[in-house]
Amino acid sequence: MAQSLRSTPAAAPRDVSDVESSASVAAAIRTVEIEQAGLGSLAGALKGALGLAFARAVETIVASKGRVVVSGIGKSGHIGRKVAATLASTGTPAFFVHPAEASHGDLGMIAPDDVILAISWSGETAELRDILQYAHRFRVPLVAITSSLESALGRAADVALVLPHVGEACPHGLAPTTSTTMQLALGDALSVALLESGKFTPGDFKRFHPGGKLGAVLTFVRDVMHAGDAAPLIRSGAPMSEALLVMTQKSFGCVGVVDEAGMLIGIVTDGDLRRHMGPGLTAMAVDQVMTRSPRVIRPDDLAAGAMSELEGRAITALFVVDQGRPVGLVHIHDLLKLGLV
């Protein structure tokens, strides 16, 4: 029967005052601090030679007409999959090719217009050999993330992003920890730099992330607003008796007031009704009761922005205007249904 290599765990701390004396927490803190130091070294390297190479890598990818083909094996392969996913989701077409599968037919997935991004800490990964030869043979630009410029990968690369040598968080110096953290951070940096160079917008992000909480945050106001006749509107000068009827029919707790040109000039809310409550309310003109220059939002604004506005001002609805004219209304209930909380 196989035996576990794990030793009997020490007792977990029962109180905050015991945390500092916990061996497991000490290991966690040490790991984070070592990896944090590695990221500090990476940031420092980007201010020098690595920064120059990084700029060339971005230029190489921007100039290409194809995709970024990411490859690596082991822990670098896992990082590569994440880098490819982040690139693709931020506007840079990318996919991951396993180097072993590449040697068995998947090299055909790589086109001359593509750019290869190969990741290997040592730069001597044997499984990358066929990809390197393929890149050289068909003149496919090769960007490398490695720790050694003199390695096989570093020498083969058109642009080598050489990571600083730092200690691993693993106490034996064996398990890739700090090194993979730096690889991941540099991959994220590439994705963000490419995103900014291509003027990738929140609307673009929405197209690639239509589902879940992120999709809700990136929904536009025009997609959730009550448009056209559904919006509660009344003309300036109308009596409050008509305004109350519209408020009751539309059930949004408010009515917008427009002038002869159709421009929104005010809003009557439940709060306005309470402030003017009296026997003569229904005979008053809406202009006497309304709040002038109400807060509004545009149809191309994000729903998350509308939610922030509603919560910040403790109100429940916003009129949606286009060049001063109301085109709809967005209610807090519609935003809550999206999951914006």
pLDDT of residue 172: 86
pLDDT at 212 exceeding the cut of 80: no
Question: Residue 211's pLDDT band (boundaries 50, 70, 90)?
Answer: low
Rounded Cα–Cα distance for residues 194 and 197 (Å): 5
Mean pLDDT for the stretch of residues 300-318: 88
The closest alpha carbon to 69, from 88, 90, 89, belongs to: 88
pLDDT of residue 203: 59
Asked which of 19-23, 44-48, 270-274, 331-335 is least confident by mean pLDDT, the reply is: 19-23
The strand order across the sheet containing 296-297 reads: 226-227, 325-331, 317-322, 296-297
pLDDT at 113 exceeding the cut of 90: yes
Indicate where the chain has its CATH 3.10.580.10 domain(s).
Answer: 221-338
Mean pLDDT for the stretch of residues 52-79: 95
Mean pLDDT for the stretch of residues 133-159: 95
Residue 30 CB neighbour total at 10 angstroms: 12
pLDDT of residue 1: 46
Task: Please write the tens of the pLDDT for every residue from 33-44.
Answer: 999 999 999 999
Give pTM, 2 decimals: 0.63
pLDDT of residue 319: 96
The H helix count followed by the E strand count for the chain is 15, 13
CATH superfamily of 22-200: Glucose-6-phosphate isomerase like protein; domain 1 (3.40.50.10490)
Indicate where the chain has its CATH 3.40.50.10490 domain(s).
Answer: 22-200
Domain covering 221-338 in this structure, CATH number? 3.10.580.10
Type of residue numbered 26: A
